[in-house]
């Protein structure tokens, strides 16, 4: 999607942030195309079109899709225009988004988009523990990515939130309201505990301080929202949109991210879920529903 030469400064910054997880305070460096001088380095990254040979004393720790920063609106517009639809329908969709203000509110947000043909290769010293090496990491990946939903491009967090809502809708007709709410409490608590317990492991597994693959925090936040919203299908739908709003725009949520508490990847989502659920609960109370 993007030209590598114009995006290399941002790409290097992103790769450097990932290296900070692998280097554990040691020296690290980002190279383009091939490794340079690696003596004295604890870890390094190479952004290249093919996997470079590992220098003596180093092993490949991870290979990642190379992504660069882009406006979410431009990415969505590009994907929309690729759909085989009549030109009139494509133009209508763009006009509706602009008319509703979606293009300015959502489109201005930054996302990471793939640069085709380029990958990021992360190397660590041969005597350093490599991420993803333990057999149990497969189970942690399934848990932290919510069954693989976190590996979806762009929509992983939304998909995980939607999955919780689908479960809620399916269970609601068969469970008493109190039992249904208790099941949502259990889901929120277990997901939160796993996020706290697995945060450090996930950082090394996905080679990132705040891995995009981790969407179990969205599961915890969405479940917390449903505890308050109730099991009516329209209340679940309202809680979904409210949660995504608070989760994306972080209104009143940023302060919890600054606490530095263990499990920092999940607390903002839980708080966003409580805000969303309280909002829907208040609307139901006001309407007498």
276 shares a domain with 210: yes
- Residue pair 10/68 in contact by the 8 Å Cβ criterion: yes
Q: Which of 96, 125, 154 is the last residue of a domain?
A: 125
35 shares a domain with 112: yes
Q: Do the domain assignments include residue 71? A: yes
* Average pLDDT in the chain: 81
150 shares a domain with 42: no
Q: Do the domain assignments include residue 63? A: yes
Q: Do the domain assignments include residue 288? A: no
Domain membership of residue 73 as a residue range: 4-125
Q: Which of 60, 90, 125 is the last residue of a domain?
A: 125
Q: Do the domain assignments include residue 131? A: no
Q: Per mean pLDDT, which of 6-10, 137-141, 227-231 is the most reliable? A: 227-231
Q: Which of 72, 92, 125 is the last residue of a domain?
A: 125
Q: How many CB atoms lie within 10 A of CB 182?
A: 13
Q: What is the pLDDT of residues 214-253, one digit of tens each?
A: 999 999 999 999 999 999 999 999 999 999 998 888 777 7
142 shares a domain with 171: yes
Q: Do the domain assignments include residue 289? A: no
Mean pLDDT value of segment 142-148: 92
Q: Which residue has the higher pLDDT, 85 or 60?
A: 60
65 shares a domain with 19: yes
- Residue pair 270/199 in contact by the 8 Å Cβ criterion: no
254 shares a domain with 159: yes
Q: Do the domain assignments include residue 276? A: yes
- Between CA 146 and CA 150 the distance in angstroms is 7
- pLDDT band at 5; cut points 50, 70, 90: very low
Q: Which residue has the higher pLDDT, 153 or 73?
A: 153
Number of structural domains (the chain) is: 2
Q: Do the domain assignments include residue 257? A: yes
Q: Which residue has the higher pLDDT, 59 or 24?
A: 59
- Residue pair 274/228 in contact by the 8 Å Cβ criterion: yes
Residue 280: enclosing H or E segment and its boundaries? helix 264-287
184 shares a domain with 106: no
224 shares a domain with 107: no
244 shares a domain with 157: yes
> Considering the chain, what percentage of its residues have pLDDT values greater than 70?
74
Q: What pLDDT, on the 0 to 100 scale, is given for residue 222?
A: 97
197 shares a domain with 121: no
144 shares a domain with 85: no
- Residue pair 191/220 in contact by the 8 Å Cβ criterion: yes
Residue 125: enclosing H or E segment and its boundaries? strand 110-125
Q: In which region does residue 147 sit, left (phi positive, over 0), alpha (psi from -120 to 50) or beta (all else)?
A: left
145 shares a domain with 105: no
- pLDDT band at 196; cut points 50, 70, 90: very high
């Amino acid at each position: 999607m993007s030209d590598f030469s114009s995006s290399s400064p941002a790409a290097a910054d992103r790769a450097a942030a990932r290296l900070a997880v692998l280097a554990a305070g040691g020296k690290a460096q980002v190279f383009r195309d091939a490794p340079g001088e690696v003596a004295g380095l604890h870890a390094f990254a190479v952004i290249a079109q093919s996997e470079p040979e590992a220098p003596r004393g180093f092993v490949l720790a991870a290979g990642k899709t190379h992504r660069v920063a882009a406006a979410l609106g431009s990415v969505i517009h590009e994907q929309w225009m690729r759909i085989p639809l009549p030109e009139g329908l494509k133009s209508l969709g763009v006009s509706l988004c602009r008319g509703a203000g979606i293009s300015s509110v959502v489109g201005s947000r930054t996302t990471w988009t793939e640069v085709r043909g380029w990958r990021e290769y992360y190397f660590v010293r041969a005597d350093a523990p490599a991420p993803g090496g333990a057999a149990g990491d497969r189970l942690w990946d399934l848990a932290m990515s919510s069954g693989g939903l976190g590996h979806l491009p762009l929509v992983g967090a939304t998909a995980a939130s939607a999955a919780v809502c689908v479960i809620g809708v399916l269970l609601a007709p068969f469970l008493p309201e109190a039992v249904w709410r208790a099941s949502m409490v259990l889901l929120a608590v277990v997901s939160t505990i796993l996020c706290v317990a697995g945060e450090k492991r996930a950082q090394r597994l996905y080679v990132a301080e705040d891995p995009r693959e981790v969407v179990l925090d969205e599961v915890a936040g969405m479940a917390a929202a449903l505890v308050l919203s109730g099991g009516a299908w329209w209340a679940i739908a309202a809680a979904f949109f409210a949660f995504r709003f608070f989760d994306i725009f972080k209104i009143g949520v940023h302060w919890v991210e600054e606490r530095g508490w263990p499990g920092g990847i999940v607390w903002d989502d839980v708080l966003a879920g409580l805000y969303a659920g309280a909002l829907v609960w208040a609307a139901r109370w006001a309407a007498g529903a």
